[in-house]
Amino acid sequence: MSSLSPQPSPPPSPQHAEELKDLLASLSEDPDKEQVVSEIEVLQSIYGDHAIGLYQRPNNGNNGNGKDGTVRYQVVLSLPSPHEDVSLKVLVSLPPTYPKSSPPQLQLLSRYIGAFGADSGLFGSILRTYISVSGVEWTEDTVCVFDGLQNVIDRCTAWYEEHLSTEKAGALVREDEKDMRQLSGPSKPLETTTSYENLGHDPGIKDQPLSALPAGVNIYVAEPITDRKSAFVGRACRISHPTEVPLILAHLMSDRRIARAAHPIINAWRCQVDQVLHQDNDDDGETAAGGRLAHLLQILDVNDVLVVVTRYFGGIHLGPDRFKHINQAARNALELGGFLDAPADNRKNVGRGKKH
């Protein structure tokens, strides 16, 4: 992982842009390519003329119109705010039968997204844009390159932000190491680790005081679920009023071991006050995770409870498995606290197991 500043992908050269113009003129002579020409012109109006250019295959000099009739061009895209200074380059390949009976293919040409080296998982997910259930649906005789490019931007943005979170966590660990050296002196070797068990537990570092919990609130902490270096920790507690929720979350975030996680307080809660059910959830940066926790509380018929899951990212993407672990961590905390032991109407005073 690098701490270099993001480096934008260079726009297509003027020569490639001019060659693309010539290609469009050539394609315009073929009635079957009318949709292709129109689509490229629309993309130019959206992303800018200089963002799109003819693809020049390295080493052999072939231009964007292959011998097999495949049309190839490249597009430079920028990530959305606040990462608009990060850009990437995508190759668009249109088979001869596009869009009538074949989808396009997208390929990431950038080796880096910002300061982070793109991995095989990201390359593969972009190649599968039109054949993956999490990609873009393709319909015969319908142009769809714009939808695919937007999907690429979404994927790369999520990937980039996750890597930024990991870098931030690493910086916190390095900051702790520095503090440890200052406290321990040069004669005491420092043992470094990024594992969940030791994260934030350096004996030479004094933790800041935790913010106060509402009176009578006990937080039950389940054992962490680990998978490919990531860890998921579930916590659950009884609440009697919605106003307690921000106080409890603030208490958790005042704990450095929790605050440094990639997603510290993914949460959902349900609370009944005067026969009115109040509920809410928060993804905390893990898209759709809060809604899944809210659904879990609903199907378990658990009221007057706040459940929080902390995710420590270990550097390896888990895909959909992360949602399975988030839900399981939450359920483990609910079970540990005894919130699943009795019908909802009789759960006011339950609670057992390890307290936070």
Q: Which residues in 188-218 are b (16+ Cβ under 10 Å) and which e?
A: eeeeeeeebeebbebeebeeeeeeebeeebe
Q: In angstroms, rounded to a whole number, what is the distance separating the alpha carbons of residues 256 and 125?
A: 34
The contacts of residue 112 (CB under 8 Å, 6+ apart) are: 7, 118
Conformational region of residue 154, where left means phi above 0, alpha means psi within -120 to 50, and beta covers everything else: alpha
3-state DSSP assignment of residue 120: helix
Q: In angstroms, rounded to a whole number, what is the distance separating the alpha carbons of residues 218 and 213?
A: 8
* Domain residue spans of the chain: 14-57+64-161, 219-337
Q: pTM of this prediction?
A: 0.48
How far, in Å, are 182, 277, 311 from residue 179 at the CA level?
5, 47, 25
**Do residues 73 and 52 touch, judged by C-beta distance below 8 A?**
yes
Q: In angstroms, rounded to a whole number, what is the distance separating the alpha carbons of residues 96 and 136?
A: 20
Q: In angstroms, rounded to a whole number, what is the distance separating the alpha carbons of residues 49 and 41?
A: 9
Q: In angstroms, rounded to a whole number, what is the distance separating the alpha carbons of residues 297 and 269?
A: 8
Q: What is the pLDDT of residues 191-200, one digit of tens each?
A: 333 344 444 4
Question: Which class does domain 14-57+64-161 fall in?
Answer: alpha beta
Q: In angstroms, rounded to a whole number, what is the distance separating the alpha carbons of residues 109 and 106?
A: 9
3-state DSSP assignment of residue 219: strand
Q: What is the pLDDT along the chain (356 residues), one digit of tens a residue?
A: 344 444 455 666 667 667 888 888 989 998 889 999 999 999 999 988 888 988 876 654 455 565 678 899 999 999 998 888 999 999 999 999 999 999 999 999 999 998 888 888 889 889 999 988 878 888 899 999 999 999 999 999 999 888 887 766 655 555 655 555 555 454 433 333 334 444 444 444 445 566 778 888 899 999 999 988 889 999 999 999 998 998 999 999 888 888 888 899 999 999 988 888 899 999 988 888 999 999 999 999 999 999 999 999 888 888 888 899 999 999 999 999 999 875 544 444 444 444 44
Q: Rounded to the nearest 5°, which phi and psi values hold at 53?
A: -150, 165
**Do residues 102 and 122 touch, judged by C-beta distance below 8 A?**
no
User: Which has the closest alpha carbon to 43: 153, 144, 155?
Assistant: 144
**CATH architecture type of domain 219-337:** 2-Layer Sandwich (3.30)
Give 210's DSSP letter.
Answer: P
For residue 263, give the amino acid letter.
H
How far, in Å, are 221, 238, 244, 273 from residue 215 at the CA level?
18, 11, 10, 18
User: Which has the closest alpha carbon to 311: 300, 303, 322?
Assistant: 322
What are the residues facing 221 on neighbouring strands? 235
Q: In angstroms, rounded to a whole number, what is the distance separating the alpha carbons of residues 184 and 172?
A: 18
